[in-house]
A and B are shown apart, each in its own frame.
Chain A
Amino acid sequence: MEVTKTMINTLNELKVGDSGVVVSFKGKGSLRKHLMEMGFVKGANVEVQRVAPMGDPIEIKVKGYSISLRKEEAKNIEIEIV
């Protein structure tokens, strides 16, 4: 039996063009809740579209639209790269 190796990264580690699925969202508080409501729920597809000229924030495509967030906010979101 072959076991497929999955890679778990946090969202801030992804490069432009990388995409994956949200597997978990660490942390607590209203920011987490807000981001979940903006579409970062378990199973959601995400794709890193762009990085701002100065290296931060990043632009993510989720639920079919574009949202930007800072890397420090993205680091609690765990992504399985596909």
Chain B
Amino acid sequence: MEKLEIGLAGNPNVGKSTLFNGLTGMRQHVGNWPGKTVEKKEGTFKYNDYEIKVVDLPGNYSLTAYSIEEIVSRDYIVDEHPDVIVNIVEAANLERNLYLTVQMLELGANVVLALNMNKAADDKGYKINADKLSKLLGIPVVKFEAIDDTGREELLQTIVKASKSPNNVINRLEYGSEIDEHIGQLEKIVNEDISGIDAPSSWIALKLMEDDDEVVEKIKESGKGQRVLSEAKKIRGHLSGIFGDDADAAITDARYGFIAGLMQESVKKPKIDKVTRSDLIDRIVTNKYLGIPIFLLIMWLTFQITFTIGDPLGGYIEEGFGLLGEAITASLGEGFLTSFLVDGIIGGVGGVLVFVPIIFLLFLILSVLEDSGYLARAAFVMDRFMHKLVGLHGKSFIPMILGFGCAVPGIMATRTLENERDRFLTMLIVPFMSCSARLPVYTLIVAAFFTAYQGWVIFSLYLLGIVVAIIVASIFKKTIFKGMSAPFVMELPPYRLPTVKGAIIHMWERGVLFLRKAGTIILAVSIIIWALSSLPIGVDYASQESVTGQIGTALSPIFAPLGFGEWQATVAIIYGFLAKEVVVSTFGILYGVGEEATTEEDAGFIAAIQSLFTPLSAYAYLVFVLLYIPCLATLATIKRETNSWKWPAFAAGYTFVVAYMVSFIVFQGGSLLGFA
């Protein structure tokens, strides 16, 4: 079996992931690019006698060094020498898509051009002559559909064929005689002086003329670059004299000029653009008066669907775990092992699995919103608000929405923000979005104290999280992130009907991500809690004499001014740091109802909680749980995304202070106003 490696490249929103999923199915591996914070997806599949490894490159508009993603893609093509680069392009948006294609050809990549979503191009009245385009570019051009199998076989045949006879079409690219001449001139010096850079010398010459920081740096490192660099500088000066603009602008113009030539020859467009379905939808969805109500309606629907369907499903899982605990107790009898299994493991993990339906549903809806193109409109509609109020990008809204599901994918989604400091600021406030792991804490305590106003109390917490995030962001914007502003440059892709398969894979990926971290962390935490609650040997399980009880008792006075100075409340807070939903299972274990799971229907458990708090202190406690230190998994994600311990440490420290302050205000203010 012969091995091949192909890279999937293309602009964002062109169906790259759809093809990747279609080719590799579940044989995928998600990791990171070496030394980078960018996610790397790989997979393999078999085709005839070939075992083909597929690498999904980040979605890029260009291969300049504008973002880390662009550098990752560029380095992959240069360093890894994939047999074929499959460049997926959106047929209805060919002109801009070809800009990336041209840059990959400059790099000497063996490109197969795959035209996707041809139906949409037909609808717009575009007639694309693939053969003509193929002849002009000198590379294979295939029409296919990523969402089904249309053209898949031809695409695969073409890929295999291209791997046997690589295309090198650098000479076909034209930038106009002036620029072409200087590329040749500089290329000659590069060939003479520079060795050890594994990229076409014409590309190096072109990048130097564009004054590309990365390439200039590499040339400097090579030690023999003085002549090349000074010549490049001279050429840049010369070109800007001729074009009346920077050399890199002239080169960008020239690339689009070359593409305009290709378009002229191979694509027929109607004289007047047809009004598309997307246009019609946008007239309503981004309408001056309807845009914001529609946005709010969709957010409201998201939560209604998630919880009205998700809650009953969670109930079934809950029952299942209850039965499992009973079965274990029945077969093993009371004892040390039973206590470990039922109190430690089932009590902890069961408390998480109960919320699996909610999390999966939420991610399903979010992925539909994303794939349909609506999330980009949400950012468009909300940008002014975000920008004026907190100085953030409309795109920051997306990570924050995801944060309502779980802060971990929310923080991962900050990758869509190009400006690094904007990204960091968004990461710092995403944990204030009330994630689904906090919901069990709310439902438990709300059921004990606020039966008449359950929905409103929970809603107020969500709202409070948002308000605190806004206030904190505007403070940071004026202090540690002073003087920054990220541009709002975002494509509004055409609306598309999301595919069931795409939405499910999306949901599955994110859901499993939550489960994996929940599964491991929660299990570990449950065992630690169980052990600390059982030690020193001889104490009653989870009594005040246990290690847990002692730690809680020692720290509890700190929280007395917030209304919850009892040791049980403090212990739950301590373990909630490891994962917020553990607050519930901690109560469960502390009150010895772990095996029943911790439900609002359990009268004994509810009574125990009621003895611990007053309604006011219960609310202050909920506020504290909402705002205090993000869970360990969130902090670990922040660490990974910022590649530094500084940010997670800062996030942990400042959120504790904020939580303490707000809870203090709620409790003391509430007391002054006569609440109890």
Contacts and interface: CB of A to CB of B under 8 A. Distances in A.
Interface of A: 24-25, 28, 30-39, 41-42, 44, 49-57, 59, 61, 63-70, 73
Closest 7 pairs between A and B when the two form their complex, measured CB to CB: A54-B384, A53-B291, A66-B492, A36-B252, A37-B62, A70-B488, A65-B93
A55 B249 CA distance: 30
A39 B383 contact: no
Interface in B287-318: 287-289, 291-292
Contact of B489 (A25, A38, A42): A38
B517 to A, nearest CB: 34
A57 B383 contact: yes
B248 to A, nearest CB: 6
Contact of A53 (B96, B288, B487): B288
B491 A70 contact: no
Given A66-B492, A67-B490, A68-B488, A50 B256 contact: no
Contacts of A64: 92-96, 269, 273
Contacts of B384: 52-57
Given A38-B96, A38-B489, A68-B492, A52 B380 contact: yes
Nearest to A28: B246
B282 A50 contact: yes
Contacts of A65: 93, 96, 491
B387 interface: yes
Contact of A34 (B92, B245, B287, B489): B489
Contacts of B462: none
B381 interface: yes
A10 to B, nearest CB: 16
Q: In which size bucket is the chain B interface? A: 35 or more
B286 interface: yes
Contacts of B383: 52, 56-57, 68, 70
Contact of B381 (A34, A53, A61, A66): A53
B116 interface: no
B424 interface: no
B96 A52 contact: no
Interface in B265-281: 269, 273, 278-279
B95 A37 contact: no
Contacts of B62: 34, 37
A28 to B, nearest CB: 8
Nearest to A42: B253
7 contacts: A25-B249, A37-B64, A37-B66, A39-B256, A49-B282, A53-B288, A57-B384
B99 interface: yes
A59 B547 CA distance: 60
Contacts of A73: 487-489
B381 A52 contact: yes
Contacts of B387: 56, 70
Contacts of A34: 61-62, 66, 487, 489
Contacts of A50: 282-283, 286
B394 interface: yes
B354 to A, nearest CB: 39
Nearest to B291: A53
- Name which of A30, A51, A63 has the most chain B CB atoms within 10 A of its CB: A63
